[in-house]
Structure formats: C-alpha cells, structure tokens
Amino acid sequence: MVADIQTRDDTQAITETTADNSLQTNNTKFCKHCGKKIAAAAIVCPACGCQVEEMKGQNSAPNITITNTNTNTNTNTVSGGTYERNKYVALVLCFFFGWLGAHKFYEGKTFLGVLYIFTVGLFVIGWAADFISLLFKPNPYYVRV
C-alpha cells in the first residue's frame, strides 16, 4: 500500500514537471543563430548577441509624423494662416516679375516682396531659387504666412 502511494506521487511529480516544461516552451524560443533556448520576447539573443527579432514600432514611426503634420495643417487652416495658391500663376509672376518679388506678394509675404524689390530678387539668387522650387511644388500649393 505504501509503495503504491509512493509510485502515484512520483507519477504526479513527473506530470507536474512535464507541465512546467511545456509552459516554459511557450515562453521561450530557439535562437536562429546559435540555437540556444532564449525568452520568446527577446529581440537580441543573450547567448550570442545576434538580433533574432525585427524591432517592432520602427516602421510605424514615420506614420505618426505624417499624422502630426496633418493636425498642424488643420489647425492653421482654422486660424487662417495657410493660403492656397495656384502654382502656375506663381510661376508666371515669378518668371516675369520675380525680381520685383511679385510671387512673394502673391504668396502674401509682403516683407519678402519689398526685400526682393530692393535687392533685385535677393541678388537674382533668391529669384532663381524660388522659380526652381515652384517648379517642383504641387498645384495648388499651400503657403504659411
């Protein structure tokens, strides 16, 4: 009788140990570089130091930035700080009267426009740079004043 109970206890103990092992297996994985058993949540293998898992959240970071930009634009539209401008009107103005800062006045940047008049389009450099940057802008484009 005593021996029987002993055996049953042993069996139970073995079963428990097996259960513990299977639980551990759920929380662990094998490193694909060195084959060692490591924690399932590990990104870098503690045994060999190799990266076993892709860093999560790195790809979603730019998306967050885009959302922030949208929020800013919305806020500015409400406050009236952003103006929609036609690209081709600005290009024609810039081409013919850029040295007078015509495109700057069109964008509502009066101070820069006056500056362009007195400096001949920031010594032609600002004029040329504006014309090139206007070429690459979408139509319509948005000006923040």
Instruction: Report the interface residues with Zn ion, using CB under 5 A.
Output: 31, 33-34, 45, 47-48
The answer to whether the beta carbons of residues 106 and 93 sit under 8 Å apart is: yes
The least distance separating Zn ion from the CB of residue 54, rounded to whole angstroms, comes to 16
Taking the least distance from each CB to Zn ion, the nearer of 46 and 81 is 46
The answer to whether the beta carbons of residues 43 and 32 sit under 8 Å apart is: no
The least distance separating Zn ion from the CB of residue 29, rounded to whole angstroms, comes to 11
Per DSSP, 33 falls in state: T
Taking the least distance from each CB to Zn ion, the nearer of 8 and 33 is 33
Alpha-helical segments (H) within the chain: 2-26, 61-79, 87-97, 102-106, 110-123, 125-135
The least distance separating Zn ion from the CB of residue 53, rounded to whole angstroms, comes to 12
The least distance separating Zn ion from the CB of residue 25, rounded to whole angstroms, comes to 17
Taking the least distance from each CB to Zn ion, the nearer of 33 and 144 is 33
CB atoms near residue 51 (< 10 Å): 12
Task: Please enumerate in sequence order all residues whose Cβ is within 8 A of that of 12, keeping only pairs 6 or more positions apart, or say none.
Answer: none
The answer to whether the beta carbons of residues 117 and 63 sit under 8 Å apart is: no
Taking the least distance from each CB to Zn ion, the nearer of 47 and 122 is 47
